[in-house]
Structure 1
Amino acid sequence: MVAFFSAIEPLRIANRIDGRPLFEWDLISRDGEPVIASNGMTLAVNSSLHAAPKVPSLAVCASFDPESCIDDELIDWLRACHLEGCVLGGMDTGCYALAAAGLLNDKTVTLHWECLSDFHAHFPRVDVVESIYEVTEEGFSCAGGSAAIDMSLDLIRRRHGDVLAKQVRDQLIHEHGRRPASRQRDPAIPQEPMIQRAITLMDTNLETPLSIRALANELGISWRRLDRLFSRHLAMSPQQTYLARRLDNAYRLLSETPHSIMDISLATGFASASSFSRAFRHYYGSTPSQLRQQAVSNHA
């Protein structure tokens, strides 16, 4: 329900501010009956799958256990929408249905971070990333929750300009519209002294990263124990955490400084701009040059 209303409310507010119906929407359920959301609230809809009007775009919104709702009827209907030229997208776990229909192969999408590993295992041909939202001419997706606000604000900005998007954002008391490549989560450093010491060492050795064995030696413990500590407290390996902190620093440098991409890649421990670009895109969903272009246009 959070993702659903977060997507709709910015559009409703845009209509109210502009005084015209800039956006319209229809709510569709499988059988046309009301849908009970995961919070127990009942949501009325406009039509069933087979009575649904033809629309230029369709957002599939799903929550927990999305695969339990996927069957041949839904897959056939989604494929028919695609063949009719409808632009398809997923919110929260909605991409499961689109992927099951074979409509996301070789495309980049995002969905809620809890499902990323499972989704990748089930649909290896889909490039899934942990970003806030993804928008292309072929489709769109967002991570659910409040990320749908950012995706709708982006839609308003692209169709009707920055001024209206800012007015809607102000009405929502949504201080900053997040970029598509923004991370979904920023795990807090746990109150575990050895983890804190390890992360401090990582942060002071970004330009010339330490090996995990060298890091463990500095801490006076075995690398196996270090790996177990990170797995228990962060659900990530030391290698994954180290890479994440290097790339987070790179994101800040790209957004806030005029340093060249090559200089930033070296400052964050990458031997070449190409290896930096690959790691950055896999982590954020966009390349360093794309992020730099966004930062320049936003400050123009």
Structure 2
Amino acid sequence: MQLTYEGPAPEQIGFLLLPRFAMVALFSAIEPLRIANRFAGEELFRWTLISVDGEPVEASNGMPLAVNTSIGSPLDVSSLMVCASFAPLDVVDERLLEWLHHQQAINTALGAIDTGAFVLAEAGLLNQATTTLHWESLPEFRQRYPHIEAVESLFEVTEAGFFGAGASASLDLALDTIKRRHGSSLAQLVREQLVHDQLRLPASRQRPQHNAPEPRLARVIAQMDRHLEEPLTIGELAEHANLSQRQLERLFLHQWQRTPLQIYLERRLTLARQLATNSSHTIMDIALACGFASASSFTRAFQRMHGVTPSALRHNSGHHQR
């Protein structure tokens, strides 16, 4: 999955599975490699599934998946992909972080799919990388790691690492790898076998942009997402876009039929829903992370938008799956 590979065949790729990983993302990354081997008539790729303890890992759909090895066993791979989905940091400890640092030290190319980037960021291994992850988790990631460039693309592949947004984007990442290693013809054969209608580019967005905003509004939205914990004033947001506050409000009403203040609140409460559903943070911690000074004001705003209190949502979302 790394940008270039000049080693012997088969290319060895490791997949570290963390509890509640997205099975569709994992299989979408592996199946194109398997099909490429079949069409090539030789083993171009080989993959190894890894868990922290060597035991089967339960995916977000509740199905356990057996692995080949643990992080405590010798591992010989050229690329290592961290596979996660919900609550990616729940199992992160010093042992895992040290193991990831060791993999980087022995020149293993590191990457992630879905929310696996949280784990690499927590290890301090993404400082030079442009990363992507599932769009639902982007606001939380940007708020937690503001120094890391995180974009809403399907996948990113550079010398610093490789990242896929999850689900079908993992398929695009694998097809891109096949194309760069073994040419367009083989990638085309694999794509047709998968009935994948088009070869999507790395910079393709995860979600279609119906009614995409003009650049000035896009800059304002980006500023909102960078300042969810300590919200900026509408005047400060307008200044970032070289607009007056009145101009900004007029443009927002024309684009979305809502004021900048309403949009900002929605984005803060969207992050709050993500944290309430997929993290173990207290309600007060979530309130503070989303720019609320008190749990009571946060709960009222949350219930107005989502129709349920954050505590009730957390209680009812034990089996929530993407």
- What range describes the TM-score normalised by the shorter chain of this pair? 0.5 to 0.7
| Secondary structure, aligned partner of 2:156 | strand
Query: Relative to 1, partners in 2 of residues 1:27 and 1:213: Cα closer, same or farther, differing over 3 Å?
Result: same
How many angstroms does 1:212 deviate by?
A: 7.7
After superposition, the CA RMSD in angstroms is 3.0
Give the partner amino acid of 2:30. I
Gaps of 5+ in 2: 1-22, 218-241, 269-322
| 1:32 and 2:54 aligned | yes
How many angstroms does 1:175 deviate by?
A: 0.9
Q: Which residue of structure 1 aligns with residue 125 of structure 2?
A: 103
The CA deviation string for residues 192-244 of structure 1, in whole angstroms up to 9 with x for no partner, is xxxxxx99xx9xxxxxx9988458669999x9953366568x859xxxxxxxx
Contact 2:59 2:65 (C-alpha < 8 Å) held by counterparts: yes
Percent identity for Structure 1 against Structure 2: 51
The higher relative CO (CA closer than 8 Å, separation ≥ 6) is in: 2
Please list, as runs of the form range in 1=range in 2, the aligned pairs for 1:254-273 lying within 5 A after superposition.
Answer: none
Contact 2:37 2:45 (C-alpha < 8 Å) held by counterparts: yes
Query: Relative to 1, partners in 2 of residues 1:219 and 1:44: Cα closer, same or farther, differing over 3 Å?
Result: closer
Taking the aligned partners of 1:52 and 1:31, their CA distance within structure 2 comes to: 13
Taking the aligned partners of 2:152 and 2:64, their CA distance within structure 1 comes to: 30
Give the partner amino acid of 1:114. E
Give the partner amino acid of 1:33. E
Q: Which residue of structure 2 aligns with residue 226 of structure 1?
A: 259
Taking the aligned partners of 1:145 and 1:73, their CA distance within structure 2 comes to: 28
Contact 1:106 1:125 (C-alpha < 8 Å) held by counterparts: no
Please list, as runs of the form range in 1=range in 2, the aligned pairs for 1:137-156 lying within 5 A after superposition.
Answer: 137-156=159-178
**Aligned counterpart for 1:117 among listed residues 121, 139, 154:** 139
Residues paired across the two proteins, number: 219
Taking the aligned partners of 2:258 and 2:161, their CA distance within structure 1 comes to: 44
| 1:46 and 2:68 aligned | yes
How many angstroms does 1:126 deviate by?
A: 1.1
Query: Relative to 1, partners in 2 of residues 1:19 and 1:188: Cα closer, same or farther, differing over 3 Å?
Result: same
Query: Relative to 1, partners in 2 of residues 1:214 and 1:120: Cα closer, same or farther, differing over 3 Å?
Result: closer
Query: Relative to 1, partners in 2 of residues 1:224 and 1:161: Cα closer, same or farther, differing over 3 Å?
Result: closer
Could you say which structure has the higher helix fraction? 1
Taking the aligned partners of 1:210 and 1:73, their CA distance within structure 2 comes to: 50
Q: Which residue of structure 1 aligns with residue 116 of structure 2?
A: 94
The CA deviation string for residues 45-102 of structure 1, in whole angstroms up to 9 with x for no partner, is 0001111422111000001010112111110000000000100001101111111111
Could you say which structure has the higher strand fraction? 2
The CA deviation string for residues 114-140 of structure 1, in whole angstroms up to 9 with x for no partner, is 111111121122111111100012310
Is the deviation greater in 105-114 or in 167-176? 105-114
